[in-house]
């Protein structure tokens, strides 16, 4: 059967594949060729926040006040005990309350890994086999390379072209394009994968992505398949929720031609990444991984609810500008999270919290069972035919760091996220 992705403008030719993979294999080694325009102009950045994002304006000298830092230390100790006895706390009110109080950044990666059931679904050999197969035959290599270069460009972990985290992001996305060939690669996946890579190692991030896209609890599959049916279903459900819970604002928006798709599309498609202050985005993601997809609709409506006064104070241009600049807005996180919980309860009561299922999900267990067999069969056929697209003797799963030494991508260090000091 013909691969529908081959009809796209960014189909990867064999020469392009060799060139792109060779660049990622070399990374930032001394003999790597990296154009000046490929690295951002670091001189324009004045400060780096606690999450690793660089800012053009100077930030306060003390990023985390001492009282907040001490509170996080105390919470981290409690979370440490809970993580050691996870089965005891799973599904309890204690866990629920602590999630909404905020997961300490130092343990966030461990908690996310538990919620995503990574250790349970991880299948031996699958990731390395998919990564190897992608190097040889993935039709999405060219598009993935383009998207890696523009993902999290203001984050210290992804800022340098072909650095360790860009390599990990490239290999993760390429591997997923082969693991789930029916879906392949879709623009929008790169931000999702990059977020996971800030808190998880490369292979765990891959399995986290498998869960988010394929598990019924999150069901993100519909955001990426042709036609984006879940995106439109969520916008429609949000419209109904807006009319039901915010009738005055709904009339105001309709009067000024503000359709839900105008502002909800980036919120849903990017899952709030790059749309809100990052610290608030993380709090929403904590809730999302705990509660599932109903958090998406609830968060969208909660944003409108908590900002309804300024939204009612102006016309079309004012509304659009306000909603587009939320990332730099001074939103109170605790008020926003409280509003999220309240909105979720109201939407659940109204039967408007969860969008209808718009696409049949692929069974993760089935994908795991067939993936290694598929990879071995296809790689064997490629080797028999003399088709070897891995250039210059490099082996899949290794990179070259700046000193020329080989290093495993799956165990590449996490500079921020779960290993960040409080």
* pLDDT score of 406 more than 50: no
Given a contact cutoff of 8 angstroms between Cβ atoms, the answer to whether 343 and 307 are in contact is no
User: Of 247, 286, 239, 243, whose CA–CA distance to 264 is shortest?
Assistant: 239
CB atoms within 10 A of CB 107: 21
d(CA 43, CA 50) in angstroms, rounded, equals: 19
Sequence-separated (6 or more) residues with CB below 8 Å from residue 111: 79, 83, 103, 286, 289
d(CA 26, CA 33) in angstroms, rounded, equals: 9
More confident residue, 5 or 176: 176
User: Of 101, 122, 118, whose CA–CA distance to 109 is shortest?
Assistant: 118
User: Of 64, 171, 80, 77, whose CA–CA distance to 396 is shortest?
Assistant: 171
| pLDDT, tens digit, 9 for 90 and up, residues 190-207 | 999 999 999 999 999 999
Residues above pLDDT 70, as percent of the chain? 86
Three-state SS annotation for 149-193: CCCCCCECCCCCCCCHHHHHHHHHHHHHHHHCCCCCCCCCHHHHH
Name the band, by pLDDT with cuts 50, 70 and 90, for residue 401: very low
pLDDT of amino acid 263: 94
Given a contact cutoff of 8 angstroms between Cβ atoms, the answer to whether 28 and 163 are in contact is yes
* pLDDT score of 300 more than 70: yes
Structure tokens, 137: 């035959």
HSE-CB for 78 with a 13 A CA cutoff: 16
User: Of 178, 180, 170, whose CA–CA distance to 147 is shortest?
Assistant: 170
Lowest mean pLDDT among 179-193, 194-208, 283-297, 396-410: 396-410
d(CA 378, CA 15) in angstroms, rounded, equals: 20
d(CA 84, CA 117) in angstroms, rounded, equals: 15
Compute the average pLDDT of residues 222-240. Answer: 93
pLDDT of amino acid 421: 36
Compute the average pLDDT of residues 343-369. Answer: 90
| pLDDT, tens digit, 9 for 90 and up, residues 99-138 | 999 999 999 999 999 999 999 999 988 999 999 999 999 9
pLDDT of amino acid 391: 40
Name the band, by pLDDT with cuts 50, 70 and 90, for residue 349: very high
pLDDT of amino acid 242: 97
| DSSP letter string, 261-274 | HHHHHHHHHTTTTT
pLDDT of amino acid 374: 84
pTM: 0.85
* pLDDT score of 407 more than 80: no
Q: For the chain, which domains are there?
A: 20-215+362-422 (1.10.8.270), 224-350 (1.10.472.80)
């Amino acid at each position: 059967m013909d691969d529908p992705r081959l009809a796209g403008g960014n189909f990867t030719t064999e020469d392009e594949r060799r060139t792109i993979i060779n660049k990622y294999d070399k990374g930032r080694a001394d003999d790597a060729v990296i154009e000046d325009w490929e690295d951002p102009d670091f001189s324009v950045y004045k400060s780096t926040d606690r999450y690793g994002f660089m800012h053009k304006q100077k930030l306060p000298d003390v990023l985390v006040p001492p009282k907040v830092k001490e509170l996080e230390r105390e919470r981290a100790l409690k979370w440490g005990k809970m993580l050691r006895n996870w089965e005891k706390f799973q599904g309890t009110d204690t866990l629920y309350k602590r999630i909404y109080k905020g997961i300490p950044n130092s343990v966030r990666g461990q908690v996310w890994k538990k919620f995503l059931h990574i250790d349970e679904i991880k299948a031996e050999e699958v990731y390395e086999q998919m990564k190897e197969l992608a190097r040889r035959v993935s039709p999405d290599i060219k598009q993935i390379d383009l998207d890696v270069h523009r993902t999290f460009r203001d984050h210290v972990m992804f800022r340098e072209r072909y650095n360790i985290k860009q390599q990990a992001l490239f290999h993760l996305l390429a591997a997923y394009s082969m693991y789930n060939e029916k879906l392949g690669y879709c623009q929008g996946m790169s931000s999702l994968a990059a977020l996971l890579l800030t808190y998880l190692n490369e292979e765990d991030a891959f399995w986290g992505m498998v869960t988010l896209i394929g598990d019924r609890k999150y069901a993100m599959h519909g955001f990426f398949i042709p036609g984006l049916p879940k995106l439109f279903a969520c916008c429609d459900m949000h419209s109904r929720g807006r009319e039901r819970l915010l009738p005055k604002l709904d009339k105001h928006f309709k009067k000024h031609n503000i359709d839900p798709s105008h502002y909800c599309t980036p919120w849903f498609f990017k899952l709030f990444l790059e749309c809100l202050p990052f610290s608030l985005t993380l709090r929403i993601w904590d809730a999302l991984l705990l509660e599932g997809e109903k958090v998406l609709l609830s968060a969208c409506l909660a944003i409108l609810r908590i900002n309804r006064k300024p939204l009612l104070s102006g016309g079309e241009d004012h509304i659009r500008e306000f909603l587009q600049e939320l990332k730099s807005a001074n939103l109170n996180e605790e008020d926003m999270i409280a509003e999220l919980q309240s909105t979720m309860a109201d939407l659940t009561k109204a039967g408007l919290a969860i969008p209808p299922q718009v696409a049949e999900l692929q069974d993760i267990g089935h994908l795991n069972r067939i993936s290694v067999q598929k990879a071995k069969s296809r790689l064997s056929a490629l080797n028999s035919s003399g088709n070897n697209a891995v250039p210059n003797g490099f082996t899949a799963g290794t990179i070259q760091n700046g000193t020329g030494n080989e290093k495993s991508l799956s165990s590449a260090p996490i500079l921020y996220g779960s290993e960040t000091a409080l």
